[in-house]
Structure 1
Amino acid sequence: MTRPDLTRLSIALASLSLVLSACAQTGAPVVPPPVTGIASFNMGWAGTPAEFARYLSVCSAPAVKYCDTRPRIERGATVATDAEKARAAQCQEGTLAAAGGRNASMMVPPCNAYRPPRTPPGSPRIDPAVSRVPAAYQEKINQLATTVDGLIANDGVRVIAFQEVSGTEVIKLVLGTHADKFDVCAAKHDAFQTLAFAWDKTLTTRPGVCETESTLAILDPANDPAAFRRVRPGLALSLTVNGEPVTFMNVHLKAGCASVTNEDVRFPGRLLDDPAEACEVLNRQVAPLEAWIESVASKSPRFVWMGDFNRRVDDEEKLAIAKDKVRSDGSDPAGANKGANGKVATRYLWPELNDGTPVLHQVPLSTKEGGCTGFTGLDHIVISEAMKKVNEGVVFSRKVAVAEKPGQGIETSDHCPRMAKLRF
């Protein structure tokens, strides 16, 4: 910094000091910072039209025919039957051949990724063929753009964490007329489905910095020596808002181990030490996730953690689990937690992570689901203690229904955006 720059900085600091001093002496109120809208949105395998064309080419191949490479596990069971495993293996073999090998196949969505909107109970299901044409996919992109436009234009959202996207190109598509006003980044990941951020360029006084947290990209299935697919990494966005650093953390954790209760038959209650394959993977994400949160907190006390947790951490919080029940070995969740092959003793996600280092606060919903018809209880917003001090009282979030048109061939998304307004 040159001497003239130092002089100008000294003058500015002196002026600020005089203003604060005057406020203290006169009792004038300190004006709090304005609220800023933030949102998390899982866009349901959103990619470019060209990527959808590639999907159609692979999934319509004679040896594939839109089969499912994942072995289906019957409700109440923890593993698939041998017959189902054989069917899935045959499907995977055909898909790998059609895609051109393992690496190429990971850049193609699963062949059951796109489907028509759900019909009311008792109504006939829509023919899946209507979802297998480019026009249907373009309508999905159009409605995603309409949804995002509403978040920005109507709700004042200036930071959006996206899940289930292929990269920055599709983010620019759904930003539409707002694309020039936002910067974007995506997590580095060798698979179609990754994470991304979009943020208003004028929100930060320094260029935003994005960093991929690859430790969360655990092999899936965790106990399969032949596994080559990995779940999503994490993504951090560092901004400077109102002169102070703030970090946004974006996650999309392993699906299939969502509930701690049995209130919904679709999500059987499972602890993180359950032998189900999904819980085995989510369990192995706990240690790197906790290390990442603690690392961010040490550098940036003001942080917001949001995304698709695929776990009903609000239900876990309501249960108020005793410390000696959080882990299967009864140890303190604030202590070391390392096991063999990445598996830990953790049974509950929220009390394990919110162990006081750092202190975390969930941002609850102001309404049950705010008109949202997608998955419930999986998308969350969490703020740090430093952020809570800036946002006194109860801070709420809400769900925003996705835009859809009658007769749409592909549903816009099976999730709805979750948003909140915070002071930074």
Structure 2
Amino acid sequence: MMNLTRIALLVSLLAAPAAHAADPVAPQSPAVQIGVASFNLAWAGSQQDFDRHAAVCNAVSWCDTRPKRGPGGARPDEAAVKAAAQCVADTERQAGGPSQAAMMVPCNAYLGRNTSTPPTSLDYAAKLAGLQATIDKLIETQGVRVLAFQEVRSADVVKTLLGRYADRFSVCDAPHEGFQTVAFAWDRSLSREEGRCNVNRELAVSDDPNDPKARKVRPGLALELQLPGRKVSFLNVHLKSGCANIVPTPIYQARLLDDPAPACAVLNRQVAPLERWLDSTAKSSPEYVLLGDFNRRIDEEAAADIKPEQVRIDGSSALGVPKQDASGKVATRYLWQELADAGRPLTQVPLQAESSCRGFTGLDHIVLSAPLASRQAPGLVSRKTAVIQSPAQRIEPSDHCPRSVTLTF
């Protein structure tokens, strides 16, 4: 007859597999759908920012700090360059110095086509009202809960533009030495933990690496959210303008990133920092969204028949971060093919046609990492929403339409 100890051991051994089989399976976190939008706010500051802008610009007769090209001219003539330089000097003197002038909107920013009559505080208030109404529409009718902003003065301005939703959203921005910066607003109910924002200052390259006083372009901004069961990141960019397309138009010349034009040289020097940022994010947060104003038609690049050996000047593989020279430039011709290489594939969210939207086309994009793209249903598209404004409005709220998409996380 077995003793009690041996019986107890036998019972425990026989019961162990059954108990293990009955263990509950860890539940999968349910899919969450979140509206995400990118919106360039076109030099959006506070009402006080505008009043200061108007006072300085009145004092300098609303001059233009950028030299103008004559009709049919490839570049500004000597007289135009001299006039712009004088405008810069006068504006800096009235503003209180170069650093103060850098934190002010250029005098021509809000003039539009009517340059004979300067805009007023009421005109600017109408611009802010249009932005607020547009953002309200994104949140109310499209369920947007994460918003990436470009060309905004500060987080305080974003809070004002959120209007009745200001108490529901958290906001962060990227402090910068220029008026324009990038910012995020997100519905704080998305996560039990507070979102984390990190500034990427590497993207804020200098317009002229040989001039320590030269203006720096906008930094990048990352938002990290802990959603149920997973961490996701959003990367907000506003890259250098003036080197946008590879297909020529009646207005814009086709330019590759190795083009000698100054704007292309600056955008070129943002490539390596952007690649490093994507690589670092992919390691810590494989599911991420890259969005914002790319100032580059990466949709044109993606649609073009670009051979792998054409991406870089030396014909080398586009895998990995390209080597930089002493100034930060890389041997890259195409932004999209450089970023979306086989080592870290990316997916552009295509745009659904939106006939009611006016403003720039092809500059604002929403891009998904491969792990996040794999979670989306087939046929995913983004849309543009027309900016709300009155027919007679003198300062349009923005020359960009917000681009949005509903993503599954």
Shorter-chain TM-score above 0.5: yes
Percent identical pairs in the alignment equals 48
Is residue 2:39 matched to residue 1:41? yes
How many residues were matched structurally? 388
Which of 256, 270, 273 is 1:288 aligned to? 273
- The 5-angstrom pairing of residues 65-144 of structure 1 reads 65-73=61-69, 79-116=75-112, 125-126=113-114, 128-129=116-117, 132-144=119-131
Residues 305-328 of structure 1, C-alpha deviation per residue, up to 9 Å, x if partnerless? 000000000000000311110111
**Corresponding residue of 1:237:** 223
Q: CA RMSD in A?
A: 2.0
Deviation of 1:167 after TM superposition, in Å, equals 0.3
Q: Distance in 2 between matches of 1:198 and 1:223?
A: 33
Pair 1:72–1:36, CA change in 2 (3 A): same
**Letter matched to residue 399 of structure 1:** K
**Corresponding residue of 2:360:** 375
Pair 1:299–1:79, CA change in 2 (3 A): farther
Is residue 2:159 matched to residue 1:172? yes
Which of 316, 334, 340 is 1:348 aligned to? 334
SS at match of 1:154: helix
Q: Distance in 2 between matches of 1:175 and 1:234?
A: 22
| 5+ long unaligned stretches in structure 2 | 1-19
| 5+ long unaligned stretches in structure 1 | 1-13, 22-29, 117-124
Which of 386, 408, 420 is 2:393 aligned to? 408
Residues 386-408 of structure 1, C-alpha deviation per residue, up to 9 Å, x if partnerless? 10121132321010000011211
SS at match of 2:125: helix
Q: Distance in 2 between matches of 1:112 and 1:314?
A: 30
Maintained 8 Å contact 1:247/1:300: yes
**Corresponding residue of 2:198:** 211
**Corresponding residue of 2:48:** 50
Which of 357, 372, 379 is 1:394 aligned to? 379
**Letter matched to residue 34 of structure 2:** T
SS at match of 2:131: helix
TM-score, length of structure 1 as denominator length: 0.87
Q: Distance in 1 between matches of 2:286 and 2:130?
A: 36
**Corresponding residue of 2:14:** none
**Corresponding residue of 1:252:** 238
Maintained 8 Å contact 2:29/2:228: no
Pair 1:231–1:31, CA change in 2 (3 A): closer
TM-score, length of structure 2 as denominator length: 0.90
Larger Rg: 2
Maintained 8 Å contact 1:303/1:384: yes
Deviation of 1:126 after TM superposition, in Å, equals 3.6
Maintained 8 Å contact 2:225/2:231: yes
Deviation of 1:218 after TM superposition, in Å, equals 1.2
Q: Distance in 2 between matches of 1:97 and 1:231?
A: 22
Pair 1:356–1:55, CA change in 2 (3 A): same
Pair 1:186–1:176, CA change in 2 (3 A): same
Q: Distance in 1 between matches of 2:393 and 2:47?
A: 16
Q: Distance in 2 between matches of 1:35 and 1:70?
A: 44
